[in-house]
Amino acid sequence: MFFSLSMKYYFLFFLLICHSACLANSAENNKSDFTINVAAFTENKAQSNLGQLLFESIYRPLDINVKFVSLPRDRAFKMLNEGDLSGEAARIKFAFDDFENVERVNTPILEIKNYLYCIKPEMCNFKKKTLISIIKSSMQTEIYCKQNSLTCIGVNNEHSALKSLVVGYADTLLANEYSVNITICEAKIAKVYRRLVPEMTVNLYHFVNKRYANIVPDIENQIHLLKTNGSVNKLIKKTELHHNCQVKIIDL
């Protein structure tokens, strides 16, 4: 009887150790496999640096190692919903409303202001005949064009968008200020005009697959900390300082 009870307790103890080891291995695997799509930050080296620095600053204090990939929007959204990706770097608030397995971190990660950019000040407008260049990866500008029946033409990235103004392919460019600020030095222009589109000022949010729902409060707290202590603005300034050019941006 004593032998039977002893064996029973040893067996239970063995199961407990195995269970703990499995949980530890699972947690370790989750850390090493935490993959974030940062396509919105990889149009150029400066954006890529910002994306990596920002998310390393968020996840390092949580003892989570992240790796970065750059995937097309539709493919990335599908992979995140199916659990093949851990997170999406930054999208507008309602980007994943139709995806049941994706959770939004409710503290916005960045505020983005959108402008009309033009070579001639009179072309910074939304008139019916104005040809507006937009970047294909931007959901917000695509939606805005459709809602307002604007004549918009899609280009692949910020470099192409700015070139479209220089060569006269488009009259004006509708884009966010950060994307333009870190690419404008490569456009070989002396000055550019811009007009704020206030109704397009928007917050961007970080999204994760729902299997990480238990750490969302920690991610949210870390984003809040980085914003309140000025770290996010410092990272933006740090990446922008890589460009030493004399392009003049004139607000209308």
CATH number at residue 47: 3.40.190.10
* 16 located within any domain: no
Q: Do 144 and 209 contact (CB within 8 A), yes or no?
A: no
pLDDT, residue 24, reads: 42
Q: For the residues 140-168, what does the mean pLDDT come to?
A: 84
pLDDT, residue 9, reads: 45
118 with 103, same domain: the answer is no
Q: Out of 2-11, 32-41, 56-65, 125-134, which region has the weakest mean confidence (pLDDT)?
A: 2-11
Q: Token digits for 214?
A: 């238990």
Is pTM, for the whole model, over 0.75?
no
Q: Do 189 and 247 contact (CB within 8 A), yes or no?
A: yes
Dist CA 102 CA 99 (whole Å): 6
CA-nearest of 198, 179, 208 to 64 is 208
Q: By residue range, what is the domain housing residue 41? A: 33-110+205-240
Confidence of residue 11 (pLDDT cuts 50, 70, 90): very low
118 with 196, same domain: the answer is yes
Dist CA 118 CA 200 (whole Å): 17
Q: For the residues 41-55, what does the mean pLDDT come to?
A: 67
* 2 located within any domain: no
pLDDT, residue 129, reads: 87
194 with 209, same domain: the answer is no
* 47 located within any domain: yes
98 with 157, same domain: the answer is no
* 161 located within any domain: yes
Spatial strand order of the sheet with 172-176 comes to 151-155, 131-135, 172-176, 114-118, 191-196, 248-251
pLDDT, residue 218, reads: 95
Q: Is the pLDDT of residue 12 over 80?
A: no
pLDDT (tens digit per residue) in 73-91: 899 999 999 999 999 998 8
Confidence of residue 164 (pLDDT cuts 50, 70, 90): confident
148 with 213, same domain: the answer is no
pLDDT (tens digit per residue) in 23-47: 444 444 444 578 999 886 655 555 5
* 217 located within any domain: yes
> Other CB atoms closer than 10 Å to residue 26's CB: what's the count?
10
Q: In total, how many domains does the chain have? A: 2
Dist CA 226 CA 72 (whole Å): 28
76 with 154, same domain: the answer is no
Q: How many CA atoms lie within 13 A of 59 on its CB side?
A: 24
pLDDT (tens digit per residue) in 181-235: 767 777 777 888 999 999 999 898 999 999 999 999 999 999 999 888 887 777 6
**Mean pLDDT for the chain?**
80
Q: Is 206 exposed, middle or buried (0-12, 13-18, 19+ CB in 10 A)?
A: buried
Dist CA 228 CA 230 (whole Å): 5
With the C-alpha atoms ordered 208, 211, 212, 214, is the resulting torsion angle positive or negative? positive
The one-letter code for the residue type at 117 is Y
